[in-house]
Chain A
Amino acid sequence: MTMIEIEKLRQRLKEIDLEARKIRDLPKADRAEYGKKINLQKQEVLNEIKQLEKAELDNEVLPLDVTAWSGVNEAMPEFFKTEIGSMHPLMAELDRVIGIYQMMGFDVIESRQLDDEFHMFDALNFAKEHPARDGYDTFRTEENLIPPAHTSTMQHRVLKKYKSTLEDTGRLAVVVPGRVFRNEDVDATHEHTFYQCEGVYVSRDCNMAQMLGILREFFEKYYEQKLNIRTQPGYFPFTEPSLEFMIEKPKGLGGKKGEYLEMLGCGMIHPKVLEMAGIDPGVYHGFAWGGGIDRLVMLRFGLDDVRYFESGNLNFLRAFK
């Protein structure tokens, strides 16, 4: 049936080609218009043929007994060999990261991958139209939704969700792993898609010394050694004071003395951010941080190209058992 229809359409295509030749008999002024019309007709028929051929291709298929566990006259299927299996290094390492934070008492909430202006900026004390918003190179959808450029997009939600925990137990401790996006040129050290982990901690008497203590603890546990740390002033509208946290690159990972690496941004949560989530900044203080996971993992494994991670290349992935 389909074959006959396709044949008919092919016939029609020939007719259109014949029609097309008449273009020479037309006055020059009309030729462009005529040509366009003929081409349009031709495209339509070609599309119809393609659709029918596709349907025909799909029609050839024989049905299966999907309730069975093996094919007819076939041996039972088997799993592939364990040796070729692998976990994604970023995910497996993120599991370790989360594990360390959990031991330190942090709950886990995963970050969204499509969010709005309110959570990405407004709730984090970015003034409307403030140039600080430009620093994030955000993507936007037609609806003005934002694939988040940082996991801080979850801060407001975390503060609201754990407000009652804070009031009951006197503290709130959550980490937020997730995928983030920046409109950046991609090279060996920059990806438009990468992973971050955010930390949020609130209590009545928390301070910067505790923040530095937690961060040092994390990095020492993650890299399984004592580390020298350093900070430098930073600027984020949602923390006050704001700083960048650095570690001295461990010798075992190819570091030289005095070679410091920026690992994350951090600071004491801005009172307005607490207030917007309904937490009284007169009673509670907080600190928060956020840093890239890709870089953390690259340093641990000595990887030199961030693009491997989302390449889907099995020759890379199977190296990670």
Chain B
Amino acid sequence: MKISLNWLKKYVKIPETVSDDELIRLIGARLVEVEGVIDETHKYDNIYVVRVESCEKIPETHLTLCKIDAGGELVQVVCGAPNVREGMLAVWIAPGAVVPASAKEDAPFVIGKRKMRGFESCGMLAGADELDFGDDHSGIVEIDPNMAKPGDKLAVIFELEDLILEIENKSLTHRPDCFGIIGFAREVAGILGERFIEPAFLTHEDVFPEGFLIGAGKHDLKSKESDLKVKIADNSLCGRYTIASIKINEEHLKGEKYLSNTQILLAKSGMKSVSKIVDVTNILMLLTGQPLHAFDYDKFLKVGKSESPNIIVRLAKPGEKLLLLDEKEISCTENDILITSNDIPVALAGAMGGKETEIDENTRNVLLESATFSLFNLRKTQMTHGLFTEAITRFTKGVSTGETFNVLAEAIKEMGAKPLALYDAFPGWHEGIMVNVSVEEINTLLGTNYDEKLIKNTLQNVGFEVEKNGSYLKVFVPIWRTDIHIKEDVIEEVGRLLGYDNINPVLPLHVTAFANREWELKKRIRNLLSKYGANELLTYSFVSERLLKKAGLDPKNSYKIVNSISPDLQLVRQSLIPSLLDKAFLNEKLPVNQFAIFEMNKVYRKEWGLDKEKVPVEKTQLAMVLADRKYNDKTAFYQAKKYAAKVFDELGINVQYVPLKQKIVEGLPFEPKRSAEIVMDGECIGVVGEFKNSVKAEFKLADYLAGFEINLDCILDNMNNHYSIDLRKREYRDLTLNSKKSYDEVVRDIENVLKEHEIEASITPVSIYQADNSDEKHISVRLGFVDFNEKIMNVLENLY
């Protein structure tokens, strides 16, 4: 949303002591973030109102040679517009001035003196598009002689030295009243500590002749003479529907050829001028936040084949068709709200009118609608049909029902039209909201010390009525504040308008916290592995189906994102390994030749089901993939195992590495013949191993490649900080045994012998040797004896 500061200032007086910069800062600090400020203070420098004194066609061209009066000597300009004529007031961009429409570009276009077809042209006569007042390129703009004289600065006549504030709509989702200049101005008054003066037309009206209207102000107001029928099929769809039939005053349409403030305000607000009638509805929407829609009365009757307007507001039937103003035909869903003429759709409520009842230059009778609709239905309509009009942007914030009638009346006045009939259906009428809050409650929640008078004034300045009631304040909420329901909402108003920055920060007294064990575990692992040359990385939680398949995982086991950014990010990952393999490829290509990358993160699988909160079971994993291009003749498995063992060692956890069972490897890229299950207390908590050849081929990875994936949740309860430090003197002996058995089996045999002889010794691996022609291995270990005797070595050496 764009807010012109000049326009805003028409509704709220800014004290001279408050500069524009300060005003913008205050708006940012106390109303809404100002995303940007467009500075237009010099945009219209050196641009003047001029009179065209003479016109002479240049033969064989579409050009006219003009002499213009710019308030001094006559100047010669060549003009290409068809509507240039003697005596008209036009707008002249003098040499040296920047063409306003190009002001935002990197290289703004500066007008100079130049020759066209041999004639000197000094500056140019401007069209609306060049002046950045819309995209009309059909001719030059004409100025109303009642407004200006030759030599006047355009910027002065139309108050163009302006700052435009850019506001992110999302930041005001809860404030439909601020989607209009008046609502915004009301807030600015409140911020400055001033009482806001409501514009006259919002508080009373003098549009209708005496005796024209009957009925109370709150329910079903209508004109005495009325042939309008309004039926709202379901009251939840439409809180209020006010409609009038009016006759347009021909005289009023005549001024349409002149450049108008309306056209300029629309342009500043990012909208386009369409026609006198439509412009009035749009300007009032920008001013009040209440969208209006104008139907051609005669077309409306023709579509509905009725004698008088029979308006039915109802839900669409699925598939019902409607051709919109932008000439696109939509197929409605049963959520869309339609305005119908005698049950034939003529508008998509709140979003856009229909083509068949569009206002055109021949329109003389108008049906003018001012209504509110269910924001929930309109939100879906907006999404379904991709319609983001200014009107629906406002309706989806929940426009209040309070102002449909007043704004409609003002529109009739602005159009210079005569009201014929009016009907105001108001099914959403309700009593005003009153909130009780005490001064103490306000100060307690804010941490402030504001007195009652200040609080009362602050609220009254923006339209609340406040009455004292014992120690409480009775706060009556104005009808346009659809966001205020409870006392906390009122407290927010006070805190915000008086400035949160005036609250003095204090620190509450604290006790220290307990550490989170899982977080601490990850911290320990991060510190440990990075110390041993490994690199922690983070990869996305979403992966592609292709990646899972490459790693041999079943995509069906993944939760699938239905609105993913791309197919690469469609599935929630089941394991960290595929992502790490992917990054291994990336890094090998960089090239980085040697790395152990690891990640600690969460994974999900459909087969794990839901937890007791009915959300998917979540597992926190640690995974590592290591690779080394230089080591192609070595076995990567043992390096990965060394890293895994280091982690368990650090955490004081006892695990065994046992040959992998086929069942576990299903759905994992590990090669069963070259991988081990990591077992803790008889439970498999992870896998360490090399990857299948087919996986390596799919990922195009080097041969020396291994890794592990461990579930961290299940080791939390087994961690300890115990160090078994043994400073006793030991005597070391190397022992080599020849056997076909596995390393573990050999160690177990040694342990049994030591146990039999009641001898205590540590056992650490040294090497494994195997001759080419032998199926026996020489397994060497180092024994560290506390009480060494030669005899035991003899026994051990002859074990097999």
User: Which A positions have Cβ atoms within 8 angstroms of B?
Assistant: 54-55, 57-58, 60-88, 90-92, 95, 98, 101-110, 112-116, 119, 128-132, 134-135, 139-143, 145, 147, 157, 169, 171, 173, 177, 179, 181, 183, 185-186, 192-193, 201, 203, 205-210, 212-217, 229-235, 237, 240-244, 262, 268, 270-271, 285, 309-310, 312-315, 317-318, 321
Interface-facing stretch out of B262-270, B309-317, B344-352, B492-500: B492-500
Q: Contact at A71–B513, with CB atoms within 8 Å?
A: no
Q: Which residue of B lies closest to A116 (CB)?
A: B615
B561 interfacial by beta-carbon distance below 8 Å: yes
B757 interfacial by beta-carbon distance below 8 Å: no
Select which of B618, B690, B697 is within 8 A of A113 by beta carbon: B618
Select which of B500, B516, B675 is within 8 A of A231 by beta carbon: B500
Choose among B513, B542, B601, B643 the residue with the greatest number of A CB atoms under 10 Å from its CB: B513
Contact A314-B535, Cβ < 8 Å, known A80-B596, A142-B562: yes
Contact A114-B616, Cβ < 8 Å, known A134-B379, A208-B447: yes
Contacting residues, chain A, for B561 (C-beta < 8 A): 139-141, 147
B333 interfacial by beta-carbon distance below 8 Å: no
Q: Contact at B768–A68, with CB atoms within 8 Å?
A: yes
Q: Contact at B642–A69, with CB atoms within 8 Å?
A: yes
Q: Contact at B536–A61, with CB atoms within 8 Å?
A: no
Q: Which residue of A lies closest to B765 (CB)?
A: A69
Select which of B396, B511, B519, B539 is within 8 A of A131 by beta carbon: B396
Sample 30 A-B pairs with CB under 8 A, ordered by A number: A64-B637, A65-B768, A66-B637, A68-B638, A68-B742, A69-B638, A69-B743, A74-B638, A81-B533, A82-B533, A83-B533, A84-B594, A87-B526, A88-B537, A132-B173, A141-B572, A143-B559, A181-B541, A192-B565, A208-B448, A213-B505, A230-B29, A231-B500, A237-B174, A241-B491, A243-B500, A262-B33, A268-B445, A310-B540, A312-B538
B91 interfacial by beta-carbon distance below 8 Å: no
Contact A210-B538, Cβ < 8 Å, known A68-B638, A183-B563: no
Contact A58-B694, Cβ < 8 Å, known A67-B658, A139-B563: yes
Bound CA span A235–B595, Å: 46
Contact A270-B767, Cβ < 8 Å, known A67-B744, A110-B516: no
Q: Contact at A208–B495, with CB atoms within 8 Å?
A: yes
Q: Contact at A107–B514, with CB atoms within 8 Å?
A: yes
Contact A61-B742, Cβ < 8 Å, known A84-B594, A85-B531, A241-B491: no
Contacting residues, chain A, for B769 (C-beta < 8 A): 72-73
Contacting residues, chain A, for B602 (C-beta < 8 A): 112-114, 179
Contacting residues, chain B, for A317 (C-beta < 8 A): 535-537
Bound CA span A112–B616, Å: 10
Complex interface residues of chain B between 420 and 459 (CB less than 8 A to chain A): 444-448
Complex interface residues of chain B between 658 and 687 (CB less than 8 A to chain A): 658-660, 671, 673-676
Contact A208-B742, Cβ < 8 Å, known A61-B674, A88-B537, A131-B379: no
Contacting residues, chain A, for B643 (C-beta < 8 A): 79
Bound CA span A101–B515, Å: 11
B147 interfacial by beta-carbon distance below 8 Å: no
Bound CA span A93–B380, Å: 41
Interface-facing stretch out of B4-12, B321-329, B582-590: B582-590
Give the shortest distance, in Å, between B274 (CB) and chain A (any CB): 27
Contacting residues, chain A, for B489 (C-beta < 8 A): 240
Bound CA span A310–B626, Å: 18
B604 interfacial by beta-carbon distance below 8 Å: yes
Interface 0/1 of B605-632, CB less than 8 Å to A? 0000000011110100000001000000
Bound CA span A237–B489, Å: 11
Contact A145-B559, Cβ < 8 Å, known A72-B777, A73-B769: yes
